[in-house]
């Protein structure tokens, strides 16, 4: 197959790949893509498909490997950079996440919740003041998720155990207004009378 691909035209390669895909011959498709990636000019498109395949299989380490290879050749590949931010988050590679996220943040290719991912990375690296700064920079539209307000709460309490958590309440109420099942006392127990009692019991 390697010899064939080196002499085959692009259209012929696509036909073989389509045939393998239609017959659900995934392992052979991966072999074809791997060989195809060694052909000059076909590297990025092959690695892109390989990363997509491994993402679907939830083999994040292999997907990460191919995305890194894409970015070695094309540092501005939008999908690769965006995928690396999400993968670095799932793999808890916080330094990598910050590198790719900051790179994205300086362009027009921003992804949803980018500020959240940056704040999360800084939080995990115990740089709480920087994490809080990115929380504050987050667009209003991206503050109405449980993950965001939980992170916001953790950061505030890490900066100061006596931090005022009332600003978070606004977004909990907005989520409730949209029909999202979330209780104030579950997220912010110390702001609720019953939650305060529960906190004292737990102490």
- Across 99-127, b (16+ Cβ under 10 Å) vs e yields bbbebbbeeeeebebbbbbbbbbbbeeee
Cα 121 from Cα 126, distance rounded (Å): 9
**CA dihedral of 140, 144, 147, 151, whole degrees rounded to 10:** 50
Q: What is the pLDDT of residue 140?
A: 92
Q: What is the pLDDT of residue 61?
A: 92
Q: What is the pLDDT of residue 24?
A: 66
Per-10-residue mean pLDDT, the chain, length 203: 62 68 70 79 89 90 94 89 93 95 85 95 98 96 94 95 91 91 82 45 34
- Across 23-61, b (16+ Cβ under 10 Å) vs e yields eeeeebbbebbebbbeeeebbbebbbbbbebbbeeeebe
Cα 138 from Cα 15, distance rounded (Å): 46
Dig out the tokens for 201 from the structure: 């019991």
Other C-beta atoms closer than 10 Å to the C-beta of 194 total 9
Dig out the tokens for 188 from the structure: 């912010």
Other C-beta atoms closer than 10 Å to the C-beta of 130 total 17
Cα 168 from Cα 31, distance rounded (Å): 50
Q: What is the pLDDT of residue 202?
A: 32
Q: What is the pLDDT of residue 198?
A: 38
Name the one residue in this structure whose structure tokens are 């209003």. Answer: 140
Cβ atoms of residues 166 and 192 within 8 Å: no
Q: Please return the burial class of 92, using the count of CB atoms within 10 Å of its CB with bins 0-12, 13-18 and 19+.
A: exposed
């Amino acid at each position: 197959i390697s010899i064939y691909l080196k002499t085959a035209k692009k259209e012929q390669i696509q036909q073989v790949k389509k045939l393998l895909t239609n017959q659900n011959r995934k392992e052979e498709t991966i072999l074809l893509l791997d060989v195809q990636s060694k052909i000059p000019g076909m590297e990025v498109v092959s690695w892109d498909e390989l990363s997509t395949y491994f993402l679907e299989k939830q083999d994040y380490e292999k997907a990460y490997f191919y995305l890194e290879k894409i970015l070695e050749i094309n540092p501005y590949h939008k999908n690769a950079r965006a995928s690396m931010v999400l993968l670095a988050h799932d793999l808890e590679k916080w330094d990598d996440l910050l590198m790719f996220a900051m790179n994205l943040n300086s362009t027009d290719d921003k992804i949803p919740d980018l500020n959240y991912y940056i704040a999360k990375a800084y939080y995990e690296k115990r740089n709480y003041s920087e994490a809080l700064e990115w929380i504050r920079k987050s667009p209003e539209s991206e503050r109405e998720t449980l993950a965001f307000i939980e992170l916001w709460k953790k950061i505030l309490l890490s900066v100061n155990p006596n931090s005022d958590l009332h600003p978070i309440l606004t977004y909990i109420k907005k989520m409730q207004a949209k029909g999202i099942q979330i209780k104030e006392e579950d997220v912010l127990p110390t702001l609720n009378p019953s939650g305060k009692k529960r906190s004292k019991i737990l102490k």
